């Protein structure tokens, strides 16, 4: 099933391939549960320790943080339409595990940032 | 960018998450109307639980229960099975009745025992859970889980294996070494002290010559005896301290153990030159480049400058122009390489230093950006005195910036601005704008750029920076206005056009965004001198990857092959862009 968030994950994968230090500076394993109409339809793993992004659960190791968010909201986060704090407070973004580590993810997820 | 408020450890400023929790924990209105529907805070939760469990033994107070038991017992005993008239007739059968009572007694006893054991079990449980609770609470408060766990498990293992066979196995040797500090676990690898290696060799040799069990055990005993206590505690204390430090500091990368990713310098060391640059053959590429720049043809200017630096690798001006132009051409990585080279040759080049700060900010390297700003100030004769002599951020390992350091740099720039309150120095304002962008204070940053523009209103770069600040601060409409001002001044300003596309994405106008990106790419391909090279050379990776994402978000995956092949013509046709 192809979701809009696929494009975002691809872009992030590209980003960390080009500059692996950004991934290493966060250094965590994140599990994303993407939902549609309330049900989890896809999971993505962002293994920033080995700089890999792929579908499914982590191949080695356990996720430090698990995030659950709907497809549309995830795209909104990446394109700057949805503010991460707002998303969290409205319950659109659910976090379990190491929340501090998830906050470090911020710069990495900014797919659409204006350049000074 | 908006994550900043969550990411910052700004004491005293309202943390939105905390505000939310105060709603939940101290919502008196809710409490009044609904009683206490849910436990308020974790502390209160624990309190409640403890209270409940404390009450448990009360309800099982032995004295009362005993009394009740006795009562029941006595009642039962005193009340013989009520003899009905028929039963009375069979009083001979009071044997049966007696037996029944006897049985009953036994039964009572049994029952009692059951109850007693149940009660005892209950009490035990509650006590246990109370104990467990406190253990959990304590563990939860402690931070040094890891070191303790490893140490504990190592020692546990040692304790449990009494089997002499195990005593001289390699693994046991290793565990003893770990427990006693001879071997240290660093970065997941084990490094064993030479001494221990020697001992190991000796041990192996001895094994061959002497009786196995005897020597092994004796040597093991000797080893343990000699190294017991001292090594153990010293090493583990040190380890514990270091882990505690790590746990306390926000920047975990400050520790030498976690420094291996700081090879970022290598990514920006080598400049990626265009292959087959036709500008190599012309006489004075530098002048031609400047000419192109004034005409607004950025891609061609880049080619000229590349040729210039190839011809004269020591020409700082050429490197600087190459760097600033590449930044405008939306190629920050190349810009950083070029500007770094320029600063190596000419450390006092202020333009290069400011350019570096901006590019580092765009690439999310805040520490390096701050360092560049500090260097800028140090090299600026007007403000050099404001910089404390030993200020150097390069000692830090990670690229994340420390709050405190950032504040210091900010204060420096504010003081510089206050030196001449009437006379706005647009460069200082620019620096401040960059700093506020780093800390996420977009409103202040916008004000700084506006101040800079008040004295230099024809600088397209400043208009673009204002626009970018507004866009990142979630103010797309005003951002677009600023971008248009920039593009009016400099139609070939690739970066500004890219930023317009970004704003379209922010507003979910994916088609318009894609159009803007394609326009920018077309411009990059159509540079006067670039055409001869084949067009692909000067195109920005950033624009391509953002366009790719855009196309996917538009659900036009049919255009994927065109994207992969960088087929501009096909994409132009598909999205109705006319190369006029």
Which tens digits make up the pLDDT trace of B283-315? 899 999 999 999 999 999 999 999 999 999 999
Q: Which two tokens stand for residue B156?
A: 């546990």
Q: Which two tokens stand for residue B164?
A: 């002499």
What pLDDT score was predicted for residue B526? 82
Residue-wise burial string across B475-494, b where 16 or more C-beta atoms lie within 10 A, e elsewhere? bbeebbebbebbbebbebbb
> What's chain B's average pLDDT?
74
Contact assignment for A114 to B5 by CB distance below 8 Å: no
Q: Which of B1-15, B24-38, B232-246 has the lowest mean pLDDT?
A: B24-38
Higher-scoring residue by pLDDT: B19, B482: B482
What pLDDT score was predicted for residue B259? 42
Nearest-CB residue to A25 (from B398, B433, B464):
B398
Q: Which residues of A touch B396 (CB under 8 A)?
A: none
Q: What is the mean pLDDT of residues B242-256?
A: 52
Nearest residue to A102 via CA among A63, A73, A58, A51: A63
- Residues B525 and B568 sit within 8 Å (Cβ to Cβ): yes
In the structure, what pLDDT confidence band is assigned to residue B188 with cuts at 50, 70 and 90? Answer: very low
Nearest-CB residue to B1 (from A21, A81, A110):
A110
Distance from CA of A71 to the nearest CA of B (A): 12
In the structure, what pLDDT confidence band is assigned to residue B479 with cuts at 50, 70 and 90? Answer: very high
* Cα angle value B522/B526/B530 (rounded, 5°): 130
Which residues are within 8 A (CB) of A42 and not within 5 positions of it... i.e. 6 or more apart? A1, A3, A5, A33, A34, A55
A interface with B, Cβ–Cβ < 8 A, is 2, 4, 6-8, 10-11, 14-15, 18-22, 24-25, 27, 75, 79-81, 83-86, 88-89, 103-107, 110-116
Contact assignment for B549 to A10 by CB distance below 8 Å: yes
- Put simply, whether B280 touches A (Cβ < 8 Å) is no
Nearest-CB residue to A24 (from B261, B495, B502):
B261
What pLDDT score was predicted for residue B527? 78
**CA atoms of B133 and A88, how far apart (whole Å):** 31
Nearest-CB residue to A80 (from B258, B506, B553):
B506
Using the predicted structure, report yes or no on whether residue B12 has a pLDDT greater than 70: no
pTM score? 0.62
- Residues B452 and B472 sit within 8 Å (Cβ to Cβ): no
CA distances from A36 to A42, B8, B550, B580 (A): 9, 32, 21, 43
Higher-scoring residue by pLDDT: A82, B486: B486
Q: Which residues of B touch A106 (CB under 8 A)?
A: 1, 3-4, 6-7
Which tens digits make up the pLDDT trace of B391-448? 776 655 455 667 888 898 999 999 999 988 888 899 999 999 999 999 989 999 999 9
Q: Which two tokens stand for residue B395?
A: 């000692």
- Residues B437 and B361 sit within 8 Å (Cβ to Cβ): yes
What pLDDT score was predicted for residue B145? 45
CA distances from A92 to A69, A108, B475, B524 (A): 6, 19, 22, 40
Which residues are within 8 A (CB) of B503 and not within 5 positions of it... i.e. 6 or more apart? A114, B471, B476, B479, B480, B483
Q: Chain B, 507-526: which have a CB under 8 Å from a chain A CB?
A: 507-508
Which residues are within 8 A (CB) of B401 and not within 5 positions of it... i.e. 6 or more apart? B366, B367, B370, B393, B438
Count the neighbouring beta carbons within 10 Å of the beta carbon of residue B236: 20
Distance from CA of B531 to the nearest CA of A (A): 26
Q: Which of A55-59, B134-138, B340-344, B543-547 has the lowest mean pLDDT?
A: B134-138
**CA atoms of B502 and A115, how far apart (whole Å):** 9
**CA atoms of B331 and B342, how far apart (whole Å):** 17
What pLDDT score was predicted for residue A23? 84
Q: How far is Cα of residue B246 from the mean position of the Cα atoms in its chain?
A: 14
Nearest-CB residue to A114 (from B399, B499, B552):
B499
What pLDDT score was predicted for residue B265? 47
Residue of A nearest to B552 (CA): A7
What pLDDT score was predicted for residue B187? 44
Which tens digits make up the pLDDT trace of B115-145? 555 665 665 555 555 555 445 545 444 444 4
In the structure, what pLDDT confidence band is assigned to residue A83 with cuts at 50, 70 and 90? Answer: confident
Contact assignment for A10 to B399 by CB distance below 8 Å: no
Using the predicted structure, report yes or no on whether residue B500 has a pLDDT greater than 60: yes
Which tens digits make up the pLDDT trace of B79-123? 555 444 454 455 555 566 666 666 655 544 444 555 555 665 665
DSSP-derived secondary structure letter, B210? S
Contact assignment for A84 to B263 by CB distance below 8 Å: no
In the structure, what pLDDT confidence band is assigned to residue A15 with cuts at 50, 70 and 90? Answer: confident
DSSP-derived secondary structure letter, A19? -
Residue of A nearest to B20 (CA): A89
- Put simply, whether B464 touches A (Cβ < 8 Å) is yes
What pLDDT score was predicted for residue B456? 93
Contact assignment for B399 to A21 by CB distance below 8 Å: yes
- H helices then E strands: how many in chain B? 31, 2
Q: What is the mean pLDDT of residues B193-213?
A: 52
Higher-scoring residue by pLDDT: B488, B280: B488
What pLDDT score was predicted for residue B120? 57
Nearest-CB residue to B3 (from A106, A111, A115):
A106
Q: Which residues of A touch B502 (CB under 8 A)?
A: 80, 112-115
Contact assignment for B330 to A2 by CB distance below 8 Å: no
* DSSP codes joined into one string, A26-40: H--EEEEEEEETTEE
Contact assignment for B3 to A103 by CB distance below 8 Å: yes
Q: Which residues of A touch B549 (CB under 8 A)?
A: 7-8, 10-11, 111
Q: How far is Cα of residue B414 from the mean position of the Cα atoms in its chain?
A: 29
What pLDDT score was predicted for residue A84? 84
Using the predicted structure, report yes or no on whether residue B327 has a pLDDT greater than 80: yes
DSSP-derived secondary structure letter, A55? E
**CA atoms of B271 and B310, how far apart (whole Å):** 11
Locus of tokens 């920047």: B251
What pLDDT score was predicted for residue B191? 46
Contact assignment for A25 to B16 by CB distance below 8 Å: no
Contact assignment for A4 to B399 by CB distance below 8 Å: no
The three-state secondary structure class of B264 is helix
Q: Which residues of A touch B364 (CB under 8 A)?
A: 22, 107
**CA atoms of B351 and B371, how far apart (whole Å):** 15
In the structure, what pLDDT confidence band is assigned to residue A18 with cuts at 50, 70 and 90? Answer: confident
Total CB pairs under 8 A between chain A and B = 124
Residue of A nearest to B468 (CA): A114
Q: How far is Cα of residue B41 from the mean position of the Cα atoms in its chain?
A: 27
Distance from CA of A102 to the nearest CA of B (A): 9
In the structure, what pLDDT confidence band is assigned to residue B354 with cuts at 50, 70 and 90? Answer: very high
Q: How far is Cα of residue B263 from the mean position of the Cα atoms in its chain?
A: 18
Which tens digits make up the pLDDT trace of A54-70? 999 998 889 999 999 99
Which residues are within 8 A (CB) of B539 and not within 5 positions of it... i.e. 6 or more apart? B521, B524, B525, B566
Higher-scoring residue by pLDDT: B192, A11: A11
Which tens digits make up the pLDDT trace of B357-388? 999 999 888 889 999 999 999 999 988 888 88
Q: Which residues of B touch A87 (CB under 8 A)?
A: none
What pLDDT score was predicted for residue B458? 92
Which tens digits make up the pLDDT trace of B448-478? 999 999 999 999 999 999 999 999 998 999 9
């Amino acid at each position: 099933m192809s979701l809009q968030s696929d494009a975002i994950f691809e872009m992030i994968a590209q980003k960390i391939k080009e500059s692996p230090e950004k991934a290493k500076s966060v250094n965590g394993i994140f599990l994303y549960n993407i939902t549609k109409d309330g049900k989890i339809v896809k999971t993505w793993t962002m293994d920033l320790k080995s700089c890999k992004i792929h579908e499914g659960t982590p191949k080695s190791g356990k996720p430090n943080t698990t995030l659950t968010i709907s497809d549309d909201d995830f795209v909104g986060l990446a394109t700057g339409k949805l503010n991460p704090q707002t998303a969290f407070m409205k319950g659109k973004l659910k976090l379990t595990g190491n929340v501090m580590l998830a906050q470090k993810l911020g710069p990495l997820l900014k797919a659409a940032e204006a350049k000074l | 960018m908006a994550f900043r408020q969550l990411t910052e450890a700004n004491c005293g400023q309202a943390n939105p998450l905390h505000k939310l929790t105060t709603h939940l924990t101290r919502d008196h209105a809710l409490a009044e109307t609904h009683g206490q529907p849910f436990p308020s805070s974790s502390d209160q939760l624990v309190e409640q639980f403890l209270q409940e469990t404390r009450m448990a033994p009360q309800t099982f107070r032995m004295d009362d229960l005993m009394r009740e038991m006795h009562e029941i017992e006595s009642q039962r005993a005193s009340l013989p099975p009520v003899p009905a008239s028929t039963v009375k007739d069979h009083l001979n059968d009071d044997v049966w009745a007696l037996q029944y009572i006897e049985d009953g007694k036994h039964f009572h006893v049994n029952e009692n025992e059951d109850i007693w054991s149940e009660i005892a079990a209950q009490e035990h449980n509650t006590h246990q859970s109370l104990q467990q609770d406190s253990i959990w609470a304590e563990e939860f408060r402690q931070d040094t889980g890891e070191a303790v766990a490893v140490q504990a498990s190592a020692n546990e293992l040692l304790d449990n294996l009494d089997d002499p066979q195990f005593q001289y196995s390699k693994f046991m040797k290793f565990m003893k070494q770990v427990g006693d500090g001879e071997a240290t676990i660093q970065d997941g690898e084990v490094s064993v002290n030479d001494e221990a290696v020697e001992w190991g060799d000796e041990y192996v040799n001895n094994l061959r010559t002497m009786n196995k069990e005897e020597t092994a055990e004796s040597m093991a005993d000797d080893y343990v005896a000699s190294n017991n206590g001292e090594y153990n505690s010293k090493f583990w204390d040190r380890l514990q301290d270091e882990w505690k430090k790590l746990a306390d500091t926000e920047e975990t990368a400050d520790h030498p153990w976690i420094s291996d990713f700081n090879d970022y310098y290598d990514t920006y060391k080598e400049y990626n030159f265009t292959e087959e640059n036709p500008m190599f053959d012309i006489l004075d590429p530098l002048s031609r480049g400047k000419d192109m720049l004034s005409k607004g043809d950025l891609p061609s200017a880049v080619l000229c400058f590349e040729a210039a630096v190839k011809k004269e690798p020591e020409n700082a001006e050429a490197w600087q122009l190459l760097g600033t132009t590449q930044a405008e051409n939306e190629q920050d990585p190349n810009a950083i390489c070029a500007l770094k080279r320029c600063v190596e040759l000419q450390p006092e080049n202020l333009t290069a230093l400011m350019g570096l700060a901006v590019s580092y900010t765009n690439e999310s390297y805040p520490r390096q950006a701050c360092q560049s700003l500090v260097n800028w100030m140090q090299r600026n004769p007007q403000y050099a005195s404001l910089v404390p002599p030993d200020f150097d951020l390069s000692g830090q390992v990670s690229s994340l910036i420390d709050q405190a350091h950032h504040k210091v740099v900010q204060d420096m720039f504010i003081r510089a601005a206050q030196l001449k309150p009437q006379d706005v120095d647009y460069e200082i304002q620019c620096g401040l704008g960059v700093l506020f962008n780093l800390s996420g204070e977009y409103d202040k940053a916008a004000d700084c750029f506006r101040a800079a523009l008040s004295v230099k209103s024809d600088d397209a770069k400043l208009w673009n920076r204002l626009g970018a600040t507004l866009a990142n601060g979630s103010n797309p409409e005003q951002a677009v206005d600023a971008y248009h001002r920039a593009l009016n001044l400099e139609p070939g300003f690739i970066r500004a056009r890219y930023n317009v596309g970004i704003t379209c994405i922010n507003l979910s106008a994916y088609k318009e965004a894609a159009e803007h990106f394609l326009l920018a790419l077309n411009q990059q391909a159509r540079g006067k001198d670039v055409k001869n090279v084949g067009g692909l050379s000067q195109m920005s990776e950033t624009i391509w990857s953002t366009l790719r994402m855009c196309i996917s978000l538009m659900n036009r995956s049919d255009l994927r092959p065109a994207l992969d092949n960088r087929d501009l013509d096909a994409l132009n046709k598909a999205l109705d862009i006319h190369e006029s």
